C-alpha cells in the first residue's frame, strides 16, 4: 500500500469517498456502524486497515501542514465512535487516538504503534512488506 492507496482506504473507511456505489464504501467502518446489528468481525478488520493506513501515512503527521483530507477522514471515524459504548469499539478509538497524538507529538513510529502491535500481536512493518 502506498500513500495514495492509504488515503483512498481512509476515504472509504470514513464514508467520505465520492464513489458511494463501490462495495468498499458500503463495507467501510463508518458505514458499518450505521447498521443496528454490528458485524464486529468486519469492523475489526476495518479497524486494522485504518491503523495500517495511518502507519503508511505516518510521515505525513510529522509535517507542519497535514493534508486536510487525511484529518477529515480520521476525525469522522473517531467522532462516529463516540456514539457507541461497546467495550471493543472504545478500545479501538483509544488506539486510534493514541497513535494520532503520538505521531503528531513527534514520538516516532516505534512509540506510536507500540501498544497497538503488542495488544493485537501485529507487526505493521512486516505487514507492509507483504502488501
Residue 2: pLDDT over 70:
yes
Q: CB of 14 within 8 A of CB of 30?
A: yes
Per-residue pLDDT of 74-112, as tens digits, reads 999 999 888 877 888 899 999 999 999 999 999 999 999
- Assess whether pLDDT exceeds 80 at residue 38: no
Q: pTM score, two decimals?
A: 0.91
What one-character-per-residue DSSP string does 81-104 give? Answer: HTT---HHHHHHHHHHHHHHHHHH
Q: Which residue, chain included where needed, has cell 484529518? A: 71
More confident residue, 66 or 123: 66
| Contact partners, residue 65, CB within 8 Å, separation at least 6 | none
Residue 127 has pLDDT above 70, yes or no: no
pLDDT tens-place string over residues 44-55: 999 999 999 999
Amino acid at each position: 500500500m502506498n500513500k495514495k492507496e492509504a488515503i483512498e482506504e481512509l476515504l472509504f473507511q470514513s464514508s467520505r469517498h465520492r464513489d458511494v456505489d463501490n462495495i468498499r464504501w458500503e463495507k467501510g467502518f463508518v458505514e458499518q456502524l450505521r447498521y443496528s446489528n454490528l458485524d464486529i468481525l468486519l469492523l475489526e478488520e476495518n479497524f486494522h486497515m485504518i491503523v495500517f493506513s495511518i502507519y503508511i501515512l505516518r510521515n505525513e503527521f510529522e509535517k507542519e501542514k497535514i493534508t486536510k483530507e487525511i484529518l477529515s477522514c480520521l476525525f469522522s471515524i473517531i467522532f462516529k465512535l463516540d456514539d457507541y459504548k461497546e467495550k471493543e469499539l472504545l478500545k479501538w478509538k483509544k488506539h486510534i487516538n493514541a497513535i494520532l497524538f503520538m505521531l503528531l507529538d513527534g514520538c516516532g513510529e516505534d512509540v506510536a504503534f507500540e501498544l497497538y502491535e503488542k495488544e493485537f500481536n501485529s507487526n505493521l512493518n512486516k505487514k507492509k512488506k507483504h502488501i
